[in-house]
Amino acid sequence: MPVVSWLKHRLVVIAGLLTLGYLLLPNVIVTVFSFNRPTGRFNYQWQHFSTAAWQDPCGVAGLCGSLSVSLQIAVWATLGATVLGTMIAFALVRYRFRARGAVNSLIFLPMAMPEVVMGASLLTLFLNLGAQLGFWTILIAHIMFCLSFVVTAVKARVMSMDPRLEEAARDLYAGPVQTFVRVTLPIAAPGIAAGALLSFALSFDDFIITNFNAGSTVTFPMFVWGSAQRGTPVQINVIGTAMFLVAVVFVLVSMLITGRRGRRRA
Amino acid sequence: MPTLTEAPPPLAPAAPEPAPARRRGRFTPYWLLLPGLLWLVVFFALPLVYQASTSVQTGSLEEGYKVTWHFATYWDAFSQYWPQFLRSVLYAAAATVLCLVLGYPLAYLIAFRAGRWRNLIMVLVIAPFFTSFLIRTLAWKTILADDGPIVHALNSLHILALTDFLGWTAGDRVLATPTAVVCGLTYNFLPFMILPLYTSLERIDGRLHEAAGDLYARPATTFRKVTFPLSMPGVVSGTLLTFIPAAGDYVNSELLGSTDTRMIGNVIQSQFLTVMDYPTAAALSFILMAAILGMVTVYIRRSGTEDLV
């Protein structure tokens, strides 16, 4: 039977595409419902087509304020985690030192810890110290959980680097600073960029740890969480759709650029 | 300031050595490590110590808490909330298995069958991350709505009757049942399964498949004896990256579930932020941490891939 053999041959492809559909279905719903005009407080049922929310994305009190808080925290957390994480990664790959195992497990444990535990325990620390919960406590928490991911990403890249390139630079009378800036950093850059991108995404989207340590500061995920209880404005979907589109365009353009560069080189 | 005219370091070894001993850089690794590790010690390790101390305190919000080594809190907390613990483990395990079953074909597709579509599919797997996961989870309320097409279809196929009998759904509803929560958990952590699977599948030499075929192995046998064993590191890290966050999650249960689907994360969250019974919350959090670290250790040992870190 040709149909059966055709199906058998493409079973993996069909199953894989079904999974891809499962992954993308919610995004389709979010996009479609950004053009909805719901009758009640919640935007879960299709009523009428409308572009009202797209014309006024900040029309809901507190929404764009929370977005700006989230962006600021994500930028600073990315910066902090990338600098600290890159330093650790270089130390781990390039140097021998004592207590290496302990350092490795201190890096690994935050990634193997449920977020509730990290958020709750950090809250007990802040409560015991009498710290004022808000922007700074969120930032501290975000740098903490992004750090390990940066270390992992940068470590992988630096490990695969040929040490002879730096030796060559030194042989050509480059000083340590110059070697680092002109040779080491450019080679490590993709790993650092990957770590930074991951940090930004993790920080921007974090809800569980933030919820414990935010006090009265409202980040974008916390705004969405609150609106799930009070009523979901269509503008949430507009922001979600816009972020998805920006991400896809950004990645496609960067792929196009690297693809073209690769072809020219070939 | 080092300049170009500076003399090269004396006695530079001519032969390439794995770790050149730089006398000047003896303390460099410690300076590099110090700020980051300090951050992790103060804001990750120290909080765990504070939490341990909180869990053995007694007192009240008004009068303050004192360490009284009251270990009974652990027993009280566990005996009161063991159903939520059990539920967390069951839901997380179900979601992990589903992620593996759903994620493997997609990872395989990207690694071996996608051809020039590979990069595009990768982008489509990662891009949803940029829409807040809370918004995407809320979308499941629409997808699984009581009068939506999916519930209608399941109903007319009499599948809901079966799942109702099993206790997975309730009556004609999918929302506010264990199925909805597991569906949400599976959806949320699926990329964490796909990416490590893809990484380990992509490393497999395609010639091994050809060799297996040349030795008269059927495709199913090739998969069972060659592909799957070689993808084990991806399977192990994928299942860990799915199970750990799923077991501690409370978002899916809160948004898609009901009071009957409360997981341990929901309890810890409300004990901390609403009830403000800090010792109980700290004890629960500690039990969860110990349980997960225990399970992870046993799992890594048994699967024989200890070089994950």
B250: domain range?
76-303
Antiparallel, parallel or unpaired: β B57-60 and B64-67: antiparallel
Does B309 have pLDDT greater than 70? no
pTM confidence score: 0.88
A124 touches chain B (CB under 8 A): yes
Give the pLDDT confidence score for residue B23 in this predicted structure. 46
Smallest CA–CA distance from A223 into chain B, residue: B134
Size of interface A-B (CB pairs under 8 A): 273
> Which of B6, B109, B119 is facing A16, going by the closest CB pair?
B109
A38 touches chain B (CB under 8 A): no
d(CA A171, CA B12): 9
Q: CB–CB of A247 and B127 under 8 A?
A: yes
Give buried/exposed letters for B258-282 (b at 16+ CB in 10 A, else e): beebbbbbbbbbbbbeeeebbbbbb
d(CA A50, CA A35): 5
Q: What is the pLDDT of residues B247-277, one digit of tens each?
A: 999 999 999 999 899 999 999 999 998 888 8
Top-confidence residue, B170 or B107: B107
Q: Which residues contact B185 (CB under 8 A, 6 or more apart)?
A: B91, B92, B94, B95, B246, B249, B252
- Each of the 266 residues of chain A gets a pLDDT tens digit; together they read 677 778 777 888 999 999 999 999 999 999 999 999 988 888 888 888 988 889 988 888 899 999 999 999 999 999 999 999 999 999 998 888 888 889 998 999 998 899 999 999 999 999 889 999 999 999 999 999 999 999 999 998 888 888 888 888 888 988 888 888 888 888 899 899 989 988 998 999 999 999 999 989 999 999 999 999 888 999 999 999 999 998 888 888 887 887 776 666 54
> Which of A110, A176, A251 is facing B44, going by the closest CB pair?
A110
B288 assigned to some structural domain: yes
d(CA B244, CA B260): 22
CATH number at residue B202: 1.10.3720.10
Q: Which pLDDT band, with edges at 50, 70 and 90, does B148 fall under? A: confident
Annotated domain spans of chain A: 1-35+233-266, 64-221
Q: What is the pLDDT of residues B88-119, one digit of tens each?
A: 999 999 999 999 999 999 999 999 988 888 88
Q: Which residues of chain A are within 8 Å of residue B292 when distances are taken between CB atoms?
A: 112-114
Distance from CA of A192 to the nearest CA of B (A): 15
A244 touches chain B (CB under 8 A): yes
d(CA A263, CA B16): 34
A112 touches chain B (CB under 8 A): yes
Give the pLDDT confidence score for residue A264 in this predicted structure. 60
- The two three-digit tokens of residue B82, written as one number: 């063991």
Q: How many domains does chain B have?
A: 1
Give the pLDDT confidence score for residue A263 in this predicted structure. 61
Give the pLDDT confidence score for residue B159 in this predicted structure. 86
B66 assigned to some structural domain: no
DSSP chain A: -HHHHHHHHTHHHHHHHHHHHHHHHHHHHHHHGGGB--SSS---S---B--HHHH-TT-STTHHHHHHHHHHHHHHHHHHHHHHHHHHHHHHHH---TTHHHHHHHHHGGGGS-HHHHHHHHHHHHHHHTPPPSHHHHHHHHHHHHHHHHHHHHHHHHHTS-HHHHHHHHHTT--HHHHIIIIIHHHHHHHHHHHHHHHHHHHHH--HHHHHH-TT---HHHHHHHHHHH---HHHHHHHHHHHHHHHHHHHHHHHHHHHHHHHH-
B62 assigned to some structural domain: no
d(CA A17, CA B237): 23
Reduced to 3 states, what is the DSSP secondary structure of residue B170? Answer: strand
Does B158 have pLDDT greater than 50? yes
Does B2 have pLDDT greater than 90? no
Burial label for B79, CB within 10 Å (0-12, 13-18, 19+), is: exposed
Does B5 have pLDDT greater than 60? no
B287: nearest Cα among A90, A120, A228, A130:
A120
- Look up the CATH superfamily of A64-221: MetI-like (1.10.3720.10)
Q: Which pLDDT band, with edges at 50, 70 and 90, does B11 fall under? A: very low
Give buried/exposed letters for B228-254 (b at 16+ CB in 10 A, else e): eeebebbbbbbbbbbbbbbbbbbbbbb
Q: CB–CB of A16 and B143 under 8 A?
A: no
d(CA B275, CA B221): 56
Smallest CA–CA distance from B120 into chain A, residue: A252
Give the pLDDT confidence score for residue A208 in this predicted structure. 95
B250 assigned to some structural domain: yes
Give the pLDDT confidence score for residue B24 in this predicted structure. 54
